[in-house]
A and B are shown apart, each in its own frame.
Chain A
Amino acid sequence: MLIRPKAGILDPQGQAVERALPALGFEGVHNVHVGRLIELDVEDAGRLPEMCERLLANPLIEDYEIVNHVDGPEARRDHQNAGLDAPRRVNA
């Protein structure tokens, strides 16, 4: 689940990050928002929206998005490791 501040609600954390990036030379970055990621394994994915509405997000102030990795945690971890390895290969 990806949980973000709702559009239109002041996101000072996103603004602080947006201001910090140009200081490191990363120009041209806009609309930075900081949210949170909740990872879980679930038997009945049909219940995920209800979990988000009742506990994982606060629908008054946050939007949520459900990202489904149907290939399971092992494959997900492999995928993440591949993502970490890629830039190292570029540097080499």
Chain B
Amino acid sequence: MRFGVVRFPGSCDEVDALHACRRFGDAELLWHGDRDLTGIDAVVVPGGFSYGDYLRVGAIARFSPMMEAVIDFAENGGPVFGICNGFQVLCEAGLLPGALLPNDSLRFVCRQVEVVVEATDTPFTRTCQQGDRLSIPVKHTTGRYFAPPGTLPEDQIVLRYASGQNPNGAMDDIAGVCNAGRNVMGLMPHPEHAVDPLTGSADGGRLFESLAMVPA
């Protein structure tokens, strides 16, 4: 399994994401201005502030040459995993339903939360059991997930914040969703910051481990 981790100007979590991927497979950085995904089995779109979050979070990054290649890759069934700003980019790109709005508190939140696994039939959660609780940090200002009525089937909700732990006012406590084809997933919490017990939890590694099991 070879992961590719996209680096935009303004990304800040790509090195942690690379480190998380390397616990379970090979990984390399992909520059936003390139469009070559030769040899890549799964793409991670990491957190940060791509293109300064100008206009709207994720709005400009969505048009980068690398994202054009990632959209093609996803449309051909390749697994794509968007974390935080990466989730926002994938929504803007139309690869995932819905959008991310400013937190209801209007504040940056940075804390450990528990998320509940709602779906295990995805390449990202296949090592989990339904109802598993994963302890993973969130850190964002624009994480309030919203999808217009009728645009998000229930079976595309992959992760929910545990009861009472919704940090941003997200609709139905939604923390992560996938597309209809189940090969694209986005989430606001940061599993790449929870891959080593040294930092409090290794639960985030379960998602990278699942992804590494995708047949290359």
A interface vs B, CB < 8 Å? 5, 9-10, 12-13, 16, 55-56, 58, 60-61
Q: How far is it, in angstroms, between the C-alpha of A13 and the C-alpha of B63 when the chains are bound?
A: 28
Q: How far is it, in angstroms, between the C-alpha of A55 and the C-alpha of B60 when the chains are bound?
A: 8
Across-interface contacts of A55 in B (CB, < 8 A): 55, 59, 63
Across-interface contacts of A56 in B (CB, < 8 A): 55
Is there a chain A Cβ closer than 8 Å to B102's Cβ?
A: yes
Give B144's nearest chain A residue, CB to CB: A10
Known: A12-B102, A58-B99. 20 other contacts (CB 8 A): A9-B146, A10-B104, A10-B169, A12-B103, A12-B105, A12-B169, A13-B106, A16-B106, A55-B63, A56-B55, A58-B56, A58-B59, A58-B92, A60-B146, A60-B147, A60-B148, A60-B151, A61-B99, A61-B101, A61-B146
Q: How far is it, in angstroms, between the C-alpha of A31 and the C-alpha of B104 when the chains are bound?
A: 17
Which 9 A-B residue pairings sit nearest by Cβ, starting from the closest? A61-B99, A60-B99, A12-B106, A12-B104, A58-B99, A60-B148, A58-B56, A61-B101, A10-B104
Q: Mark B86-98, 1 if CB is under 8 A from A, else 0.
A: 0000001000001
Q: Which of B74-115 contact A (CB under 8 A)?
A: 92, 98-99, 101-106
Q: Which of B130-147 contact A (CB under 8 A)?
A: 144, 146-147
Would you call the interface of chain B mostly helix, strand, loop, or mixed?
loop
Give B57's nearest chain A residue, CB to CB: A58
23 A-B contact pairs sorted by A residue (CB < 8 Å): A9-B101, A10-B101, A10-B104, A10-B169, A12-B102, A12-B104, A12-B106, A12-B169, A13-B102, A16-B106, A55-B55, A55-B59, A56-B55, A58-B56, A58-B59, A58-B92, A60-B98, A60-B99, A60-B146, A60-B148, A60-B151, A61-B99, A61-B101
Across-interface contacts of A12 in B (CB, < 8 A): 102-106, 169
Q: How far is it, in angstroms, between the C-alpha of A9 and the C-alpha of B100 when the chains are bound?
A: 12
Across-interface contacts of B92 in A (CB, < 8 A): 58
Across-interface contacts of A10 in B (CB, < 8 A): 101, 104, 144, 169
Q: How far is it, in angstroms, between the C-alpha of A34 and the C-alpha of B55 when the chains are bound?
A: 14
Q: How far is it, in angstroms, between the C-alpha of A10 and the C-alpha of B92 when the chains are bound?
A: 20
Q: How far is it, in angstroms, between the C-alpha of A61 and the C-alpha of B56 when the chains are bound?
A: 11
Across-interface contacts of A58 in B (CB, < 8 A): 56, 59, 92, 99
Across-interface contacts of B151 in A (CB, < 8 A): 60
Across-interface contacts of A13 in B (CB, < 8 A): 102, 106
Across-interface contacts of A61 in B (CB, < 8 A): 99, 101, 146
Give A54's nearest chain B residue, CB to CB: B63
Across-interface contacts of B148 in A (CB, < 8 A): 60
Across-interface contacts of A16 in B (CB, < 8 A): 106
Across-interface contacts of B56 in A (CB, < 8 A): 58
Q: How far is it, in angstroms, between the C-alpha of A5 and the C-alpha of B146 when the chains are bound?
A: 12
